[in-house]
Structure 1
């Protein structure tokens, strides 16, 4: 899941104002950010290597350290410590653990297959990206819509006013994530646009994913705080 994880950060910030939005956005995507790091360390290599060949259906990676269930226990303890240390709040530490746990649950329903600890251990996920990518995207879209509806409704109850332009910008960030996945669900960009084989040195898969995540994170951190409150 891509866009859906970011929605959980919006709710966390809405309910726990002591925390920082940027912090919650990062924590909501912690496992994926770890995946990017471990990919470059050679611990979780991701195929296909060329972004133009990649689809949700054919992407292959054993997310041993970033997403599997046993390492998740370590990451839960880690984020609790970070949240408590940064904000001097046990509550933020617990919220951090909740965001990481929810990431795992959402990936279980709509994402890559994870395991207990390694590909030869018990499976911990439905693996819909590989078996039924359009169903996975549908689940993510519905989840994102419901959470965003709840987020805006709760803001209205608190007297928070957003312009139509601002709401559209926020929703567009999530729509971009969903559309991006729809485009590459089962057909690669090379197939869609008849792109020839070439190597410019930067058309690799991981930088493309990092750019997508980074852009969404930046836009949300920019647009979400822009509101007025009725006094």
Structure 2
């Protein structure tokens, strides 16, 4: 799941304003950011390496340390300590645990295959990206729509006013994530647009993914705080 994880950060900030939005956005995607790091450390190599060849269904990666179940216990402890000491709040530490846990649960239904700890252990996910990517995207789209509806509804109850332009900008960030995955669900950009074969000599898939996550994070951190409060 890509866009859906970010919606959980918006709700966390709404309910627990002591934490910063940027912090919640990063924590909501912690496992994926760890995956990017472990890829470059050679611990979770991701294929295909060419961004033009990559699809949700053909992407191969054993997310042993970033996404498998047992390592989550370690990451849960780490984020609790970070949240607690960074914001001097046990509550934010617990919210951090919740965000990382929800990430794992959402990936169980809409994401790559994960395991207890290693490919030889019991599966801890449905692996719909490989077996049925369109169903995985549908699950994410429904979750994102419901979460955004809840987020905006709660803002309205609190007297928060957003311009139509601002709402469209926020929704567009999530729409971009969904459309991006739809485009590469089963056909690569090379197949879709007839891009000829060429070798740049380095991995282009991971930088593309990192740019996508980074752009969404930046846009949400920019647009979400732009609101007004209704005057009494």
User: If the TM-score is normalised by the length of the shorter chain, which range does it land in?
Assistant: over 0.9
TM-score w.r.t. structure 2 length?
0.98
Which consecutive aligned stretches of 4+ in structure 1 deviate over 2 angstroms post-superposition?
Answer: 199-203
Tell me which residue corresponds to 2:37.
37
Which secondary structure does the structure 2 equivalent of 1:52 belong to? coil
Are 2:188 and 1:158 aligned?
no
Q: Write out aligned runs for 1:168-179 (5 A).
A: 168-179=168-179
Tell me which residue corresponds to 1:79.
79
Give CA deviations for 1:41-79 in whole Å, capped at 9, x if unaligned. Answer: 000000001000000000000000000000000000000
State how far apart, in whole Å, the 2-side matches of 1:122 and 1:205 are: 28
Task: After TM superposition, give the deviation of residue 121 of structure 1 in Å.
Answer: 0.3
Q: Is the 8 A contact 1:52 1:203 kept in 2?
A: no
CA shift in 2, pair 1:76/1:198, >3 Å:
same
State how far apart, in whole Å, the 1-side matches of 2:203 and 2:114 are: 27
Give CA deviations for 1:113-157 in whole Å, capped at 9, x if unaligned. Answer: 000000000100000000000000000000000000000000000
Task: After TM superposition, give the deviation of residue 199 of structure 1 in Å.
Answer: 2.6
Task: After TM superposition, give the deviation of residue 201 of structure 1 in Å.
Answer: 4.8
Task: After TM superposition, give the deviation of residue 198 of structure 1 in Å.
Answer: 1.3
Q: Is the 8 A contact 1:12 1:95 kept in 2?
A: yes
How many residues in Structure 1 have an aligned counterpart in Structure 2? 231
Mark the runs of 5 or more structure 1 residues left unpaired by the alignment: none
Query: What RMSD, in angstroms, separates the aligned Cα atoms of the two structures?
Result: 0.8
State how far apart, in whole Å, the 2-side matches of 1:15 and 1:72 are: 24
Are 2:78 and 1:100 aligned?
no
State how far apart, in whole Å, the 2-side matches of 1:109 and 1:9 are: 19
TM-score w.r.t. structure 1 length?
0.99
Which secondary structure does the structure 1 equivalent of 2:52 belong to? helix
Task: After TM superposition, give the deviation of residue 202 of structure 1 in Å.
Answer: 6.1
Q: Is the 8 A contact 1:116 1:124 kept in 2?
A: yes
Q: Write out aligned runs for 1:141-152 (5 A).
A: 141-152=141-152
Are 2:221 and 1:221 aligned?
yes
Task: After TM superposition, give the deviation of residue 203 of structure 1 in Å.
Answer: 6.3
Tell me which residue corresponds to 2:48.
48
